[in-house]
Chains A and B, each alone.
Chain A
Amino acid sequence: MATAGKNTLVQVSTATGGTYTTIAEMNSQSATLNGASLDVTAFGAAWKSKIQGLKDASYQVSGFWKSTDTSGQTAVRLALVNDSTLFVRVEIDGTTTNYFLQEIKVTDYSVKSAVDGLVELSMSFDGTGAPTLST
């Protein structure tokens, strides 16, 4: 059975074993694990052959801007501006049994406002080092 996206949580912490706080007001996320396949096809082959290269991960999170989300939105922004340590944990189904956890570098923090819309926030993270995958 499909998993409802509404239960997903994106959390951050300044320490890997620290307290993870859900980033408030988010409504969309994508977490991408990339195996970086390398083409090793040789002459004479009809089909491509590949091996895995350096694995990588990236994350996109977006939702509504909230001024008082100190441990969530502000923590992300401070990690970007101060180049400080930050970890992300994406709980796919909102439980601690299905998640990605990784140290990240925040690469984008964007705020958008329009007179006929809402104040929106989007953020991008680059994973660094190996993630912890629950499943």
Chain B
Amino acid sequence: MALAGKNSLVFVSATGKTLTAVATTAADGLTFQVAATSAQGEPFDPLASLTVATSSGGTVSSTGYTLYRPNGSVVFPTSSTNAYTITGTYLPTAQIAAAHGFFYKITADVADVSVLGAAWRSKLQTKLDVSGSVDDYHTDLTLGNLVTSSSQPICLTFYQASTASFDARAYGFLDADAIKSAVDGVVDGTVSFSGSADANGRAISFSTRGAG
């Protein structure tokens, strides 16, 4: 059944906060999740370095775990017996209170690789991209201010029905704020978003609908 848009929410990240040697949080000690204001965890900074260490202080190679920056999680092999600590930076997120709609799109460029003798075109995927926009009333200037003040990538989180599970979380830049008003209406804005990949090559993540 279709979902009502009124239940959707949009969160935006604020300035990064440092984590220093924070221990794994899952009961089995195999998953680290940034726990803060979001029920589903906060994202890691898309570009800042992250260090994983054993409880004895030894640094763990990046091949020894899987890092999901948008999900704010570090997952260790089930065969692991170590206790781990994480040092890095996460982005606390907060709801955009004046948002009343959003749109995001994932696009892929395709290259034509048709060859002589073919009757139909053949194609290959080249680059992926993410973009979108958030519609918000001009009473909350959080997003609009970020357009001009932030030179660092931000993180937008889109919820469709519940904050227990986000639909999508994307890194990128807020690159425009179009503000319009009319004598018989309210001041309304549309903030445009342009995705940008994190240090691990991922610009958007989906928490509940499979990887990627």
Contact = CB atoms under 8 A, between A and B. Distances in A.
Contact of B101 (A57, A64, A114, A126): A114
A112 B105 CA distance: 9
Question: What interface size band does chain B fall in?
Answer: 35 or more
Contacts of B161: 67
Majority-rule SS of A interface residues: mixed
Interface in A115-135: 115-119, 126-131
Contacts of A118: 2-5
A3 interface: no
25 contacts: A54-B114, A55-B121, A57-B120, A64-B1, A65-B3, A65-B160, A67-B161, A67-B208, A67-B209, A77-B212, A78-B210, A80-B128, A81-B128, A81-B204, A83-B108, A107-B110, A108-B106, A111-B167, A113-B102, A119-B4, A119-B8, A127-B123, A128-B121, A128-B122, A130-B120
Contact of A111 (B104, B110, B118, B128): B104
A115 to B, nearest CB: 4
B106 A115 contact: no
A64 to B, nearest CB: 4
Nearest to B133: A112
Interface centre among A65, A106, A113 (most CB of B within 10 A): A113
Interface string B176-212: 0000000000000000000000000000101011111
